[in-house]
Amino acid sequence: MRIAVPREVKDQENRVALTPSGAHHLVEHGHSVAVESGAGTGSRFSDEEYREVGADVVADVDRLWGEAELVLKVKEPQAEEFRHLHEDLTLFTYLHLAADKQLTESLLDSGVNSLAYETVQLPDRTLPLLAPMSEIAGRLAPTVGGYHLLSSEGGRGVLLGGVPGVAPANVVILGGGVAGRRAAEIALGQRAHVTVLDISLPTLRAIDQQFNGAVRTIASSLMAVTEAVATADLVIGAVLVPGAAAPKLVTNDDVAAMREGSVLVDIAIDQGGCFEDSRPTTHSDPTFRVHESLFYCVGNMPGAVPRTSTSALTNATLPYVTELADKGWRMACAGDPALAQGLSTHAGILTNRAVGQAHDLPAVEPEKVLRTP
């Protein structure tokens, strides 16, 4: 199969969808791999490293997309890339369609076969291709939150861990999944006072056991969230409903009642954000103020550590990419129910009901498309 890896065009997105090692694996499986010139530069992978493992390095982006059967990306296609989408092309990337109706409609209009990393789901409901980026975003969140708490950045001037004789910062984490737990690990490691809220009591029990009671756990409700964020120095939103828009947990009124200079980091911004006032920001311009608080809503947080992120992403995606390349999208999805959950669009048909609900569009289950020759 002809596999293409374009250079990412989103603001300061320095990740690339495939490492040279991953490219070598696919070449050894008998596939051709074309990488856009400079695609790996941000992750410190040179064009020559791709050539050395048998990949072609292509400067013409139109040729790259035009000759491809399978395109691997990190982030969803940007508006300038919509023209490359066409029927008979398979696209495998993060899509986050519930937060982007324009992209959803472009995929449908083009007829492209699109599969979303973030909705590939194992029988135990874990998300193997979202997990590594959730881990990275979770571990970054206390770091970027702590940085923006500096008075020089407009924050409260509070050190996460405090010092002897001075109380540490109060960190509130909404969501006890992969990202929330990683955020708790780092915040606790920096000696902050950490509280995690989640609707799942088994999740809260697991967190309590994991941290030996050092992290306070609270069953999430609207009132509990309001009370917790009122005294928070840093709030980290890490809620996730697979494939669906994130629920809005922190209202504008909640933010108005927060301490001056408090910081809110919305890891869920790719799915629309879990704070009422969240809107996507970029690494170039990461924050904005709501009342007297600072919002950080960068949609590609792991792009700040691209070398780590690219390697972690390839480790997770390569087995599925190999299935797609070896068997074609239809046979690969038919033989792997987890991969089938990633199917988002085919020939103008939406195959994710959560996305359909978010945009009031008709949708079918992936199995219906897979049964149709």
Active site residue ranges: 96, 270
- How far from chain centre, in Å, is Cα 15? 12
Q: In this structure, is the dihedral angle defined by the CA atoms of residues 18, 345, 65 and 37, taken in order, positive or negative?
A: negative
**E strand or H helix at 114, and its extent?**
strand 113-116
Q: With helix as H, strand as E and coil as C, how does 198-241 read? A: ECCHHHHHHHHHHCCCCCEEEECCHHHHHHHHHCCCEEEECCCC
- β-strand pairing of 349-350 with 56-58: unpaired
| CA 231/CA 256 separation, integer angstroms | 12
| CA 45/CA 308 separation, integer angstroms | 12
Contact 269, 297 (CB under 8 A): yes
| CA 272/CA 239 separation, integer angstroms | 11
Distances (CA, A) of 145 to 15, 20, 111, 141, 251: 22, 33, 41, 6, 19
- Among residues 130, 192, 121, which one has the least CA distance to residue 162? 192
**What's the token pair of residue 313?**
């992403």
**What's the token pair of residue 33?**
């791999």
**Alpha helix segments (H runs only) across the chain:** 20-28, 47-52, 61-67, 101-110, 131-148, 178-189, 201-210, 222-230, 252-256, 306-327, 329-335, 337-340, 353-359, 366-371
| CA 8/CA 15 separation, integer angstroms | 7
| CA 243/CA 361 separation, integer angstroms | 14
